[in-house]
Chains A and B, each alone.
Chain A
Amino acid sequence: MAFGRSDSPQAPPKMPTAIKLLIAGGFGVGKTTMVGAVSEIRPLRTEETLTDRSVGVDDLSGVEAKSTTTVAMDFGRISIGQDFVLYLFGTPGQERFWFVWDELARGALGAVVLADTRRLADCFPSVDYFERRGTPFVVAVNCFEGAPVFDLDEVKLALNLGGDVPIMLCDARKRESGKEVLIELVKHAYGKRPTATAR
């Protein structure tokens, strides 16, 4: 949906369709690394400020009503020809920033949940969140050096993942690996799109 004022001197140029993908997971799991590995630009940082509209979504108990909280998010972009542009947002690590997650997840095509086998529990909140919200997601186990190597089926079991949730190994530092994860995510999201089940 493009709109401009009718008295604009120039017709708005054709703009690409923007698509949002999320990279979630625990703190230090390599979200920004993965964004940087696949992005065509150096990852940028944007800040959202917790405002009154967030009250009721976020747990503000013990927080002064007037105080503002700023949440920083790193993101990158991948242009797909002239028609599409993918924006990859690393979700803020702290769970108390759900209000930002809700905004990020709105309209998102899907999410990658990055997992570290040394701290598998760190990605539980992300898995829970996307399951609850119905956002298509894949789990990518970031292969840190020195981390114990688990069978992917074991990880899947430990995460209590639904049978159709793709899980794969990845190296968040490598562009090729990040690409594979995103391809898997888009394929999965395609299969999960509402018409695919409704028809």
Chain B
Amino acid sequence: MNAGWHPDEERLLDAPTIRPYVIARGRTEAQDRFDLISLAVTIRPTTGTEIGLDPEHQAIVRLCRRPLSVAEIAAHLDLPAGIVRVLLGDLFDRGFLAVQQPQPETDVLDERMYKAVLDGLRAL
């Protein structure tokens, strides 16, 4: 059985590289949707029986019981940020997560914000 298959061939697949793109099913179009510091939080837990949710989706839903940035999710799950963006897009579209985008550059003018950040840093 599997006469043409040789164990060494498995190495050619380079699983750590390919695997994330299999999870995302080759999709990359969602990559511009979320910034590295977009925050995601779970608003509906998964039951584990949903169709079309991979273990990585489930892991994100579990992880985001507290708000986490795209960068943190990627680091915790050891996935490239681009893949996490795709998975977040799925979860957002299906209503499992709420996502808060960072303020655009021109909005980062809020005097209250600067004061709060300065006070916060001084108090560290």
Contacts and interface: CB of A to CB of B under 8 A. Distances in A.
Interface of A: 1-5, 7-13, 15-20, 38, 44-49, 51-53, 70, 73, 75, 77-78, 80-81, 83-87, 89, 103-104, 106-109, 175, 179, 182-183, 186-187, 189-190, 193-195
B31 interface: yes
A83 B110 CA distance: 13
B39 A18 contact: yes
A134 B39 CA distance: 26
Contacts of B111: 190
B80 A20 contact: no
Contacts of A18: 37-39, 69, 100, 102
Interface of B: 28, 31-32, 35-39, 41, 43-44, 67, 69, 71-72, 74-76, 80-82, 95, 98-106, 108-109, 111, 113-114, 116-122, 124
Contact of B98 (A2, A44, A190): A2
Residue from the set A4, A81, A179, A193 with the largest chain B CB neighbour count within 10 Å: A4
Contact of A194 (B38, B76, B106, B122): B106
A16 B74 CA distance: 19
A84 B81 contact: no
Given A4-B95, A12-B98, A44-B71, A20 B116 contact: no
Contacts of A89: 36, 71
Contacts of B72: 44, 46, 77
B43 A8 contact: yes
A68 B99 CA distance: 28
Contacts of A104: 36
Given A8-B98, A16-B39, A20-B37, A107 B105 contact: yes
The 8 A-B residue pairs with the shortest CB-CB distance, nearest first, are A80-B120, A12-B98, A44-B75, A4-B98, A18-B37, A5-B95, A190-B114, A46-B71
